[in-house]
Amino acid sequence: MQHVRAAVVVLSLSLLLPGVALAVDAPSPPDEAELVRVIDITDGDTIRVEWPDGWWERVRYIGIDTPEISHEPDGQDEPWGREATEANRDLVAGERVLLERDISDTDRYDRLLRYVWVEADDGWVMVNGELVAAGLAEVRAYEPDTKYHTWFRQLQEEARDGGLGMYADGEPRDDEAGDESGLLERFLDFIGWD
């Protein structure tokens, strides 16, 4: 049932995004990608997975940033945070997914940094790219993990041009330049500021 739901989401996104190559010209997962099961959705760009031996870990999607949601009862969500989280849930909740590592293994919060692939009827699709293509995630280049950065930027431009998701009102969530809005965060991370 989960595969059907994931396929419907991918098909729905591809119908909403004419001209965007979601699974056709997209990359494919490498042979060394690791198979795990998604057991929880934290937000739009973070999940919890279970390994075959029962061990679980948190996984942060590489190369993208989704609007934040509050985990407090009276907290405020960023605009489009719930939509990004629900799209992530629709794509991967309960699914077996492939995890692809770039250069770094974990972030400063000890989350695995990975590209996440989910199986659809016509093959594997990258969740990171699907969220960008739907206008629910912005591209972020966190060196040295930039393997798919150019592809992500192309998907983001097409989402922006199509007025999808957070670009529906013509304005991105942060600045028009995209990657530069993460400059301060990357600098603080570099100097070890928590």
Residues whose CB is less than 8 angstroms from the CB of residue 34 and which lie 6 or more positions away in sequence, other chains included: 98, 99
Beta-carbon count within 10 A of 183 CB: 11
Distance between CA atoms of residues 175 and 181, nearest Å: 6
Identify the active-site residue in 50, 57, 68, 157.
68
Is position 60 annotated as part of the catalytic site?
yes
Identify the active-site residue in 60, 114, 140, 173.
60
Identify the active-site residue in 83, 100, 111, 119.
111
Distance between CA atoms of residues 10 and 103, nearest Å: 28
User: Residue 187 gets which letter from DSSP?
Assistant: H
Q: Do residues 90 and 6 lie in contact, with contact meaning Cβ atoms separated by under 8 Å?
A: yes
Active site residues: 60, 68, 111
